[in-house]
Structure 1
Amino acid sequence: MRIVHLSTSDTAGGASRAAYRVHTGLKGLGHDSRMFVQKKWSVDPTVTGFTPSGGLVDRLRVRVRQRRITADFAPYPGKRPPGAEPFADDRTPYGDQPLRGLPECDIINLHWVAGFVDHLPFFETFKRRFPKVPLVWRLADMAPATGGCHYDRGCGRFKAQCGACPELGSNIDADLSRQIWQRKHDALANVGDAGMHIVATSRWVAEVASQSSLLGRFKRTIIPNALDTSVYQPRDKGFSRDLLGIPRNAKVVLFAADSSKHPRKGFAQLTEALEGIRGVDNLTLASVGGGKPAIGGNIPLINVGKVDDDRVLSMAYSAADVYVIPSLQEAFGQTVIESMACGTPIVGFASGGITDTVRPGQTGLLAPTGDVGALRQAIVDLLQDDAARHRLAETCRATALAEYALPVQARQYEALYRSLLGNS
């Protein structure tokens, strides 16, 4: 099959890396898989970076569109709440330009495309140019289902038509989120109920899509994210700790996120849980990601910083005794399967896609979302029970190999594509 994946990037950011893994897995099965991205960071020859048109008319249009988008966002930055989630417009400065560069293909798969794919021109012209090509959209977060927010933090307005958006700090119904929602609605009106298929990375994402006033009418398939289990594998714990500057005799809890500053990631709840722990000697918190996390009390914090190398990241997981994901809302939780593949059990809140991967008594332990006391007890239970931790570590690795290896995921996409091509 000739498959084209559209993504804002190929390897920059978790959503882009997940899209690139789908592409890589399909190549491994022998398919002619290609990525078309706004920003290319890899040296992979099967990834093509977008080059905007140099024509005078196109350059003027880009400038006008960018000014319009910037002006529409201008009223909101000063109103947004602390720790606000990313917010994405449906428009881009490029209009229909990305469509012009798409090669002939059998399947087109959208991934995280904010800032790259402009909804109205894309959906208006897609079926005209590719009348027999099935369209798939893999949802990495809530953004395609909302008026702009990547996570609604329980707002729920995406079920109707957005407006008065808490993430914008707005109390006006006809705000930017309503305008974005309306344009998305108008764009998708060009797509019949059978004209697009949604891939949800978790049961939670599938439920979000089903409740969305924008996406609820489209059929859905759940295909979880995957990873290269030959790279993410258990490493020598002592060597990994030496490399990262972590004491060998420590009881290590690991936290990983792009930034600990986003309230949704639950770093505040994790630190509160850790500060209340008693009876665990040499307790140490290690963190991976941007920002400068801080923790009170006497618990040492070792901030590894942002890690882009997968092998080094696998050593961070291997260095830990327990990986904790205290997210209050999470579409999938790629870090969970990375930790599992490295043989490190997980403790997390029972939120979003985390409940698909963290299976109590098998790959880790769950606490009710936001319950700091229960999170603390789950961490203590695993740190104090070496036998249980070792048993869970073996199950984590086995589960990662059986369910989240790249070939496993690629075969699920292959089967979906074949079924869509058969229907078309």
Structure 2
Amino acid sequence: MSYSFSQTEQEILINFEIPEGIKKSDLDIQIHSNWIQAGIKEKEPILCGELIYGIDEENSKWDFNEKGYLVIITLKKKESTEWMLIIKNDYQGKIDSNSEFILSIFYEDQKDYSKALQYLSSSAKKSHLISLYKLAALYIINDSNYPITPNYEMGFSLFKKAAKQNSSTALFMVGNLYCSGQGCQQNFIKAEKYYKKALENGSQIAGVYLGNLYFQGGNGIEQSDELAIKYWTDAALNNFQPEAMKQLAIMHTLGRGVEKNFNKAKGYINLALSLDSSIEIPEDILEQLQIELENQNEIQKEKEKEKEKENQNQIENQIENLNQIENQNQNQNQNQNQIQNENHKENEIKSKKKKPKNKIKFQTLKVLLLFVQSLLLEFF
């Protein structure tokens, strides 16, 4: 738990959260003109020490928001001076780890590295998380400003202490040190364990190193390109890690654990460089990728030519088919016309043959009439 503060010309407003289930009667808040102590009874105070400036004790107060489990302390300034921090020193030997860490930053800004280290070390002894891994880093990276002797064993011990608080940064660093064997005996099994814990607690880079571990294999870890790709892909797509993108580009170029895919490889390289221009891609991979992409382009061009030729042939065949259909239609029309002409001629012939029969019939009728007429004349 830590506190934060804001201020106006007249007041300092301090607030901090406490665990659920804590009641107002469980709190220990003491406000005095030149010192303060605030926290939960019988536990290390969250805020404790000598105030940087004196306050108006009578008009200072505190309150507890039970719904939000938030303690709010209002300190009335005696003067309108701006406060750089709340606590400037311990009071009767008491000071909280948060204030010690803030003081270490304050003295670091003042370039008083001895005092900065003093407060940082004291805060780390009280298991202040950020102090633990900052001090651990100082033991490992050897910052020449600080009066500290490099010590990997001490750095490893401090990171491991911070890792007990499920700090993703500390968990990742413990995994790294187990992997390299710095400050401890090299142990890939333990490195795997801490990398996975770091990943579970939100580390964005642990997946990259876990992938590296499976890619390398050995020391109790079974080599697996598939697992390496799994963790690199997660780190690349979900956490945008350029190093993971570089590794995926290499795997897609070589076809390790995946089918070769030069377009994907090129895409990963471009994305990695857009995120971090300092990423170094192996020259042999770049050369191989360039050759393969050029060959791929040539093959693609040949395929496009073949496709274009095939399309042209299809068009020509379609035109030929249309011409054949048109010729067939013309022939069919000619045949139909010929049939119609023949039918017409036949009808004409039939018509001519029928006309004489009508004439004969008419003449026969006329003869009969004359015969009847002659009979009638004879009768009368």
The TM-score, its normalising length taken from structure 2, stands at 0.22
The structure whose residues are more often helix, as a share, is 2
Which is higher, the Rg of structure 1 or of structure 2? 2
Higher relative contact order (CA 8 A, sep 6+): 1
The TM-score, its normalising length taken from structure 1, stands at 0.20
